[in-house]
Each structure stands twice: as structure tokens, then as C-alpha cells.
Amino acid sequence: MLFVILAKDKPGSLEVRMANREAHLKYLSGAGDRVKAAGPLLDGADEPKPIGSMIVIDAASEGAVRLFADNDPYATAGLFEGVEIQHWLGVLGDWVPKKA
């Protein structure tokens, strides 16, 4: 099943994000092909800055996704103000499994 993790950063936490970015990327890479898409959410400024994260992940259950999100180095560093997890249906994209 596919899920989307939407995490919003605490205000004024860009330094925390940057200090933990390498560990975060390594953590996501460690999930292999279960992570289908990932990247920062950006503010609307002329020079956009990250204000959160979005991850699309394939997992057996919402509980497994919650555990994955809770162990993300960004989360353990206290970066996030809140984390939302939603089931998601991939319909378009090269990585979406084709229905027979």
C-alpha cells in the first residue's frame, strides 16, 4: 500500500534541517525502492526555503509508516511541528505498477 508522509517543520528550524539533512537522506536511501518519491515542501518566497517534507512510501500498514516517520533523523532531531500520514493511490507515473 502506498502512503504519503507530510511533515511540517517548526518555525525557524532551517538550521536543524540542514544539520540533519545528510542523515535524513541516508535514512531514506536505506529504505530502497519502498520510497517512491521524496522531497522538501517549499515556502512561496522568491528564493524558496524548505518548510517541510513529503515522502511517498510503500508499506504494509500505517503503523509501519508511523514507525518509519518517527525514526527519520529529522523527526528524532525535533525538526517537525507535525506529521500527517495518509493512504495514497498512485494513478500516473512511470513508477506506478500497471494494472493487468
Delineate the domains of the chain, giving CATH numbers in brackets.
Answer: 2-88 (3.30.70.1060)
Closest to 52 in 3D by CA, of 83, 88, 87: 83
Closest to 84 in 3D by CA, of 6, 12, 24, 14: 6
| Separation between Cα atoms, residue 95 and residue 46, nearest integer Å | 31
pLDDT (mean) for 47-63: 96
The count of other CB atoms within 10 Å of the CB of residue 55 is 21
Average pLDDT over the chain reads 94
Going by pLDDT thresholds of 50, 70 and 90, the confidence category of residue 100 is: low
Going by pLDDT thresholds of 50, 70 and 90, the confidence category of residue 67 is: very high
pLDDT more than 70, % of the chain: 98
Q: Which three cell numbers stand for residue 87?
A: 493512504
Phi-psi region of 12 (alpha: psi -120 to 50; beta: other; left: phi over 0): left
